[in-house]
Structure 1
Amino acid sequence: MPRLVLWNVDHTLVDVGKVTREAYAEAFERVTGRPLVRLAPAAGRTESEIIFETLAFNDVAPTEDHLPEFMAALADAFAARKGAVRKEGRVLPGAREALAAVARRRGVVQSVLTGSIRPNAVTKLKALGLAKYLDFEVGGYGSETYPKAALVELARTRAAERHGGVIAEDATVLVADSPRDVQAAKIARARMLAVATGTATQAELRGAGADVVLPSLAETETVVAAIEELTATPPA
């Protein structure tokens, strides 16, 4: 039976925070005609949530056109900064090695489960040399405006259709860094490997109900062992 490993992008695999803030500022001004003063918190949230809250924080009353316009502007702003992503972004410790090691495991499909819109997630991971380990056609993205728990189920369906077989709930692992992601995994009945590489502490991630909590992805063997254990078929 195939196993599905879904990786959060920002603060789990990579850090491109400076570029993201610059892209948001450009997109906000393009859509509203005003400078961005305050950007909404992003940890564990989808792009649609961040956009709507950012508009509210800056006293802009949202209309039905704001979301698609903002997403398009954000994609353009990010695409124009590919060079900056390569120069100023960074792969977090152990992320590349973990992706490579999991990719070598038998019967594993790897993709992303991210609040970022799809073009920006792809830009980040391609620019930083991680794309070759991931099947982007399977992933769940913030541009789809679903809650993250629904994105997990959508990714399962896509993986089954693309790679054959059925992806069982307990054969799905989400690797991410926020309590919101832990909650999404629990709702979707996926297993959860949490890493304290974002703003949440290990204690906060355990308290949210993560199955396994690690300080980072730096210990490759530990990461692979955790994924193997989480997706192991329980004894009859």
Structure 2
Amino acid sequence: MSNAATRYGELVGIRVGCVGFDLDMTLIDPRSGMIAAMGELAEESGYPLDGEYFAANLGPPLDHVLRGFETPEERIPELVSRFREIYPDVVVPRTVALPGAAESLGAVHRLGGTTLVVTGKYEPNAALHVKALAFDVDALVGDLWATGKAVALTEHGAVAYVGDYTGDMEGAKAAGALAVGVVTGPCTREQLLAAGADVVLGSLAEFPDWLAANSD
């Protein structure tokens, strides 16, 4: 058994506990909607907001992203609020579940565990995705990023956290949870490992079998 698998066994034993998942590019692919929403915001505001770049690098909170586009600091709260207003009608309908997403949530439940989504996304909009895609999620916490995710992971007693971004791995480690990376987002296997991933999978399509093999 690999070191990661051994560590996983030490964390959860025979029975799987709470397993956390990131949302964007872990459970869902919202990129086409993100491009459209950022384009609409750019047109309204007159600022050169790069939707393609934004969608290809999902992870950081929106205010961080807007600062990267050299948006005036005093306009950022207004733009964040407007993006959140645009989001339900533009992003949610264009979003699809990534391969293995629903199956991974189901795999946790079949082993007696609970599922938790922890995301940097504005929580009401994150909840719209969970509802629209009929994900079987026991708890959802939004507006947390990187090591900040450890707050929710610790509160819910998560034994593992699955994500596509280096910040997700940092959040898992800060919570003392197993850090499971997936390379469906902007980060490479090497980047995820360097950020503390205990194991890296190609996608959530591999997660149910991996979980079953490493939970006994």
TM range (shorter): 0.7 to 0.9
8 Å CA contact 1:46–1:114 kept in 2: the answer is: no
Alignment-derived partner of residue 204 in structure 2: 217
Give the residue type in structure 1 aligned to 2:124: P
Alpha-carbon shift at residue 149 of structure 1 (Å)? 1.2
> After the TM superposition, which segments of 4 or more aligned residues of structure 1 sit over 4 Å from their partners?
none
Alignment-derived partner of residue 25 in structure 2: 11
SS across alignment from 1:45: coil
From 72, 75, 81, the equivalent of 2:84 is: 75
From 66, 83, 96, the equivalent of 1:51 is: 66
Alpha-carbon shift at residue 109 of structure 1 (Å)? 2.8
Give the residue type in structure 1 aligned to 2:22: N
Counterpart CA distance in 1 for 2:151 and 2:49 is 36
8 Å CA contact 1:100–1:133 kept in 2: the answer is: no
Alignment-derived partner of residue 50 in structure 2: 38
Alignment-derived partner of residue 162 in structure 1: none
Alignment-derived partner of residue 102 in structure 2: 96
Structure 1 pair 189/49, CA: closer, same or farther in 2 (3 Å)? farther
Give the residue type in structure 2 aligned to 1:34: G
Q: How many equivalent pairs are there? A: 199
Give the residue type in structure 1 aligned to 2:159: T
Structure 1 pair 24/228, CA: closer, same or farther in 2 (3 Å)? farther
* RMSD, matched Cα: 2.7
Alpha-carbon shift at residue 29 of structure 1 (Å)? 4.6
Alpha-carbon shift at residue 78 of structure 1 (Å)? 1.1
8 Å CA contact 2:27–2:101 kept in 1: the answer is: yes
- Unpaired runs of 5+ in structure 2? 1-11
8 Å CA contact 2:145–2:167 kept in 1: the answer is: no
Alpha-carbon shift at residue 11 of structure 1 (Å)? 0.9
* Residues 82-231 of structure 1: pairs in structure 2 closer than 5 A: 85-86=92-93, 88-106=94-112, 108-130=113-135, 132-136=136-140, 139=141, 141-142=142-143, 147-157=145-155, 159=156, 167=157, 171-225=158-212, 228=215
- Unpaired runs of 5+ in structure 1? 160-166, 230-236
Structure 1 pair 147/18, CA: closer, same or farther in 2 (3 Å)? closer
8 Å CA contact 2:26–2:182 kept in 1: the answer is: yes
Alpha-carbon shift at residue 124 of structure 1 (Å)? 2.2
8 Å CA contact 1:46–1:148 kept in 2: the answer is: no
Q: TM-score, normalised by structure 1?
A: 0.72
What do the CA deviations read for 1:83-113 (whole angstroms, capped 9, x no partner)?
Answer: xx44x3221111111111212332x331212
Give the residue type in structure 2 aligned to 1:51: L
